[in-house]
Each structure stands twice: as C-alpha cells, then as structure tokens.
Amino acid sequence: MPITLNTDQKAAFKAIQKFLDHPAADVFVLKGYAGTGKTFLMQHIAQWLKEKEKKFCMLAATGRAATVLRGKTGFSASTVHGELYNFDKIDGLDEETLAESSAPRMAGQMTMQFSTRTADAETTIYIVDEASMLSGTLTEGNGFAVFGSGILLQDFFQVANKSKIIFVGDPCQLPPVGQSFSPALDTDWLAKNQRFPVSVKLSKIERNKDDNDILVLAGAIRTMSESRERTKFPKIPASNLNNVKLHATDDVMFNLYAANYKAAGPNSCLAIARSNKKVQMINRDMRRELFGSGYVPLQVGDVLLVTQNNYSVPLTNGDFVIVNELEETEQKLGMKFQKVLVTALASGKEFKMLLSLDALESLKGNLTNDQSKALIIDFNDQMKAKGISQKSEQYREAMREDPYLNCLKVSYGYAVTCHKAQGGEWNNVYLFLDKSMYGSSYYELCKWWYTAVTRAKDGLNLVNDWWVA
C-alpha cells in the first residue's frame, strides 16, 4: 500500500471534503473492491478530521471489523450496535406474567427492549466500515432481544440526526441476511429513505503482492457477477494461481487445515463452509483432532464464536474467543452454565464470565425463547423480593450485571459460514464447498464466493472438484 494517496483516492478524498461542506448532502457512499485502499483512505480522512478538530466517530458492522479497523487506522472504533442502543426495559413483564402459577408465567411474549440513544445535538461525522452488512429491513433477531425499531439503518439515521455519515464498503460482498442488496451502499435506496446521498467508487487495486493471485481470483469472480452471460453451473476460475491451492479431497484439505491450526493458531487460519451442516462437521472433526474422539466437553484451548451481542462486556456477534480457564459447571432452572476465562482473539482482552453450555450445544448457538424467559422471570422474582421496582435505575443496573442474563452465548469457532466470517481476514482460509451451493442464484453465488475468497490474505485453499475451472 502506498504512503501517499493514489489518483483514485485523492479524487475520493476531495469529494468527501466537498461533501462535508455541502449544506444538504448527509450520506457519502465510498465503494471499493478488495484491495482498493478503502481503509487507508479512511485513516487519511480520520487524520485530517483530527487535525481540523472536527468531531468524528469510527464504526464498523461487527466487533471483529471494528478491531481490524482500529488496528489498521490507529483510531478507536466500535460497533454500530454499541453506538446506537441502550438497554431500556423488559416488555411483557406484567403482573399476569408474574402470577405464581408457572403456566401463565411462561405463556406470554416477553422481550428485552433496547432503545436508540438520544439523537445527536451537535454534528458528528460518522465513518462506518463494512457498511454492506448493515440492514435496511426488519431484522429477525432471536425473538428475545429487540433493538429500536428493528431496522438498523432507520435507527442510525434517527440517532445521527443532522450529522454526516460516510458509509464505506465493498459492493461485491454479501448483502445483509434476508436482503438481495446492500442498502447502505445503494444511493437509490438512500434517496427513497429521505437521505441526500453522494457516491464515489475506488477501482484501482493497490493491495497486491506481485505473486499473490487471491485478488486476481476475486476480480475474476467480480467480472463473472457483472457478466450478462450466465450459466446454470458457474465455475470458480481458481486453477494455476499463486497462493490459491487446490486439493484432492475435503479430507486432505481438512488435515492440512488441522496442521496449520496446530502450528499457527486460530488468528492465522479459518475454515469457511457453505452449509451449517458442514460447519458443524468440521467443528466436530477439529475438536476430535485436538482433544480426542467421543464426546468431549468444553476444553481449555477451545475456540468459540460469539453468537449474540453481550451487554456486560464488549463481545459482539461474530467475535472469536479462546478459552483460557474453566471452572465448575453449575445448573440453574434446568440449564447448564460454566464460569470461563476467555480471550477475544481480535483485541487480546480477557473476560471472566458465565458461559451457557445449553447455547453451545444447540444448533443455533443460543438459548430458546422459553429458556431466556425463565431467566428473566427468575431475575425479576429476586428483584421483587428485594423491593426493587422494575422502573428503577437500580433494576436496570442489576440487569446489566446479572451473570445469567448476560451469559456468553457461543458455538464452536473452528469453521463458520461466510456471513460469520465477513468483516475479518485470515492469513490462510480453507473453503469447503458442496454442490448444494447451486441452489442459490448466479448473482448470490458469485457474491458468496467473492466474500469468502477475500477473507484470505496469503493462502486460499479449496478442493479441485468439478466446480473449479
């Protein structure tokens, strides 16, 4: 990456300066493919804003992306969720719900409500990385936690008020779950939602060593996605490329991944699979490789993927942690918990907290609504016994600190789906594909391939099957 801005980046920087002075324009969309220097330009913008003593805030779509952004730019960065939402109340916790008989207590709908914070009074400039992941439609949560209106971008605009937002992202990456495009990068969508957007696209690839063809492959997939000639079974043009290794079978590639993992550790390599079923198989096989066959409970050294934002510590959905210490397991309301000491892989910070073993052993890496509800009712009973009102700040504070309500929800993290890997990068990525991927549309499949391929920095591995050209 050059020390100075290239022609593309200089033009974008000038456009951003112009945007910041424009009285009406409120959203700037900075689009760029992998390797075009988006992060480098963000650092340049942030440095300039600091020198001009302008108030700015750097955000990212996920915890891992925020940590990557912090590491690359040197400026503090947090998640969009963390910036927008505060715990407000429990909805559905009325006297009928709390009657002594157990059936009504568990019957009603109950949700943890997180409200948007007060709208900005003074102008802030928000720089938001990995904006392709931000949702513009009603998000299906786990049914238990409800954030603001449920529409992330709508809430962001409400909080930002008259502030300026710079959305930064790669238009070729996967859109938010449940959407066919990335609304934060779409000027038509922004205009329809009462924004005044300005857009610039970076196209010159800068981040590429002479002999590293990973971005060459990403570019070829991007070209495929833009082509009008679409085949029913498109193939990945991955043959004869430097830093792209083709293997005979999934088993051969898995063994190489296991060896790489043992030698270099979880920050260096990751397996990405197309289906949840394959993710679970790789996680199971990797744990057998590390800890022996048969059922093995949670171990020191296990890598875990956080599946739900945590409100007592800064761990968010998509963060990876490693287990450093394990204490005794305990039971509460028929659920199993274990006190653990974990280190966040991206930030290196340690956290001691309760972990939900039920969530770890479930398919979704989360508690059921009924389990979450039971914990809430139990907590409320304790508060009632102490004479603490639901509406008091003392109640809210106790809720934020309760170890059971704020227990860590995780799944094993040796393999993940592509959406979960988004916002991160690893030296070596092992891509496990299967023919079920052809159930997706041509365009969606190209986006999936592109996003998966661009998670790899130095080495991309896949099986030389019939879908490789």
Percent above pLDDT 90 for the chain: 77
The more confident residue out of 139 and 456 is: 456
And the tokens for 355? 């972990």
The answer to whether residues 114 and 88 touch, using CB atoms and an 8 Å cutoff, is yes
For residue 109, what pLDDT is reported?
Answer: 65
DSSP state of 120: P
DSSP state of 303: E
Mean per-residue pLDDT, 306-317: 86
Region at 220 (left for phi over 0; alpha for psi -120 to 50; beta for the rest): alpha
Judged against a pLDDT cut of 90, whether residue 239 lies above it is answered with yes
- Name the pLDDT band for 209 (thresholds 50, 70, 90): low
For residue 96, what pLDDT is reported?
Answer: 47
For residue 461, what pLDDT is reported?
Answer: 99
User: pLDDT (tens digit, 9 = 90+) per residue, 426-451?
Assistant: 999 999 999 999 999 999 999 999 99
Residue 320 sits at φ, ψ, to 5 deg, of: -105, 140
For residue 141, what pLDDT is reported?
Answer: 57
Percent above pLDDT 70 for the chain: 94
- Name the pLDDT band for 89 (thresholds 50, 70, 90): confident
Mean per-residue pLDDT, 261-268: 97
Judged against a pLDDT cut of 50, whether residue 225 lies above it is answered with yes
Judged against a pLDDT cut of 50, whether residue 370 lies above it is answered with yes
Mean per-residue pLDDT, 206-233: 88
According to the per-residue pLDDT averaged within each range, which of 57-66, 107-116, 242-251 is highest? 242-251
Residue 308 sits at φ, ψ, to 5 deg, of: -145, 140
Judged against a pLDDT cut of 50, whether residue 97 lies above it is answered with no
Beta bridge partners of 236: 468
Mean pLDDT, the chain, whole residue set: 92
**Per-residue b/e over 281-307, b at no fewer than 16 CB within 10 Å?**
bbbebbbebbeeeeeeebeeebbbbbb
The answer to whether residues 329 and 350 touch, using CB atoms and an 8 Å cutoff, is no
- Name the pLDDT band for 245 (thresholds 50, 70, 90): very high
User: pLDDT (tens digit, 9 = 90+) per residue, 169-207?
Assistant: 999 999 998 899 999 999 999 999 999 999 999 999 887
According to the per-residue pLDDT averaged within each range, which of 32-36, 99-103, 108-112, 459-463 is highest? 459-463
The region of weakest confidence among 93-102, 290-299, 350-359, 375-384 is 93-102
For residue 142, what pLDDT is reported?
Answer: 57
Coil, strand or helix: which one is 330?
Answer: strand
Helix (H) / strand (E) containing 273: strand 269-273
Judged against a pLDDT cut of 60, whether residue 102 lies above it is answered with no
Same topology, domains 7-202 and 214-305+413-463? Answer is: yes
Tokens 């993940």 identify what position? 416
Mean per-residue pLDDT, 232-242: 96
Q: How many CB atoms lie within 10 A of CB 172?
A: 23
For residue 26, what pLDDT is reported?
Answer: 97
Mean per-residue pLDDT, 35-63: 95
Q: What CATH number does domain 214-305+413-463 carry, 3.40.50.300, 3.40.718.10, 3.40.50.720, 3.30.420.40?
A: 3.40.50.300
Judged against a pLDDT cut of 80, whether residue 71 lies above it is answered with yes
Mean per-residue pLDDT, 393-399: 90
For residue 103, what pLDDT is reported?
Answer: 41
Opening angle at CA 260, ends 425 and 256, nearest 5: 110
Judged against a pLDDT cut of 80, whether residue 17 lies above it is answered with yes
Give the rounded distance of the alpha carbon of 269 from its chain centre. Answer: 17
Look up the CATH architecture of domain 7-202: 3-Layer(aba) Sandwich (3.40)
Judged against a pLDDT cut of 90, whether residue 112 lies above it is answered with no
Every domain of the chain and the residues it spans: 7-202, 214-305+413-463, 308-408
- Name the pLDDT band for 140 (thresholds 50, 70, 90): low
